[in-house]
Amino acid sequence: MVKEKITGIITSKEYRESSDNYKLKIITSDKQEFFFYSQQRRHRETIKEITVNEKYLFTVFKGKKYWFLENWEKVGETSQETPEWLSKRKQELLEFNLNNLQEQTEIKKSEQLEKKISYLSNQVIKTIRESNTEEEVFLEYLDQFTNLLLIKHLSIKDKQECQLTEKEKKEREILDKIVVNWFYKTSHR
C-alpha cells in the first residue's frame, strides 16, 4: 500500500451512489490534477465539512486501482506551506518592489529639490530684475537729470541778472533752491 500527502485546492466534490463514495478532484500548486475517493463508511459525516475551492492537506493511499482518502486537514493561510520556488519568487518580488520604491523616493526627492531650486531661482531673478530695473531706471534718470541741472546751472551761472530772460530767471531760482536744499541735506547727515 502506497501512502502520499497531497496539498491542493478541491475543484469538485460529487457523491457516487453506485459506490457510496465521494469523488474528490483537486489541483496542486504545480498544476497537477488528482482525483480520489472517500471511504464512505469511515467518513460518513465528516466528509461534508470539505468544501470546494478550499485548500487542504490530504493523506491518501492507493488501493488496487484507485486512490482513497485516509484523512485531511484544512490548510490555513498561516500554516500554508509554500514551495521553495514560490517563496524565492516572493522574496525576489519584495526586493524588486523595495528597490523600485527607493528609486521612486529618490526621484521624487530630486524632483522636489529641482522644483524648489527652480522656484527660488525664479524668485531671485524676479527680485533682481524688479529691483535692478527700478534702481537702474531711477539712477539713470537721476544721473541724466543731474547732468542736465549741472549744464543748465553752468550755462546761467555766469550771466548777470540783466542778461537773463524771464525763463532763465525762473530756472536760476529753482536751481539755487535745489543747490541750497541739496547742500543743506548733505551737510546735516
Render pLDDT for 2-25 as a digit per residue (tens, 0 to 9): 788 888 888 888 888 887 788 888
- What pLDDT does 131 receive? 63
Using one digit for the tens of pLDDT, what is the confidence trace for 90-100? 888 889 988 98
Residues 86 and 66 in one domain: no
- What pLDDT does 123 receive? 73
| Amino acid in position 75 | V
- What pLDDT does 79 receive? 42
| Amino acid in position 111 | E
Question: Which residue spans within 17-86 are E strands per DSSP?
Answer: 21-28, 33-37, 55-62, 67-74
Rounded mean pLDDT of the chain? 76
- What pLDDT does 129 receive? 66
Using one digit for the tens of pLDDT, what is the confidence trace for 23-45? 888 888 888 887 777 876 677 67
Q: Which domain holds residue 52?
A: 2-74
For residue 141, name the pLDDT band (cuts at 50, 70, 90).
low
Structurally, the chain folds into a number of domains equal to 2
Mean pLDDT in residue range 161-182: 81
Distances (CA, A) of 182 to 97, 140, 146, 159: 74, 19, 12, 22
Residues 33 and 61 in one domain: yes
Using one digit for the tens of pLDDT, what is the confidence trace for 68-80? 777 788 886 544 4
Residues 42 and 106 in one domain: no
Is there a domain that residue 172 lies in?
no
CB 69 within 8 A of CB 43: yes
Give the H/E segment covering residue 103: helix 84-157
Is there a domain that residue 188 lies in?
no
CB 62 within 8 A of CB 1: yes
Question: What is the per-residue burial (b if ≥16 Cβ within 10 Å, else e) of 27-55?
Answer: eeeeeeebebbbbeeebeeebeebeeeee
CATH number for position 8:
2.40.50.140
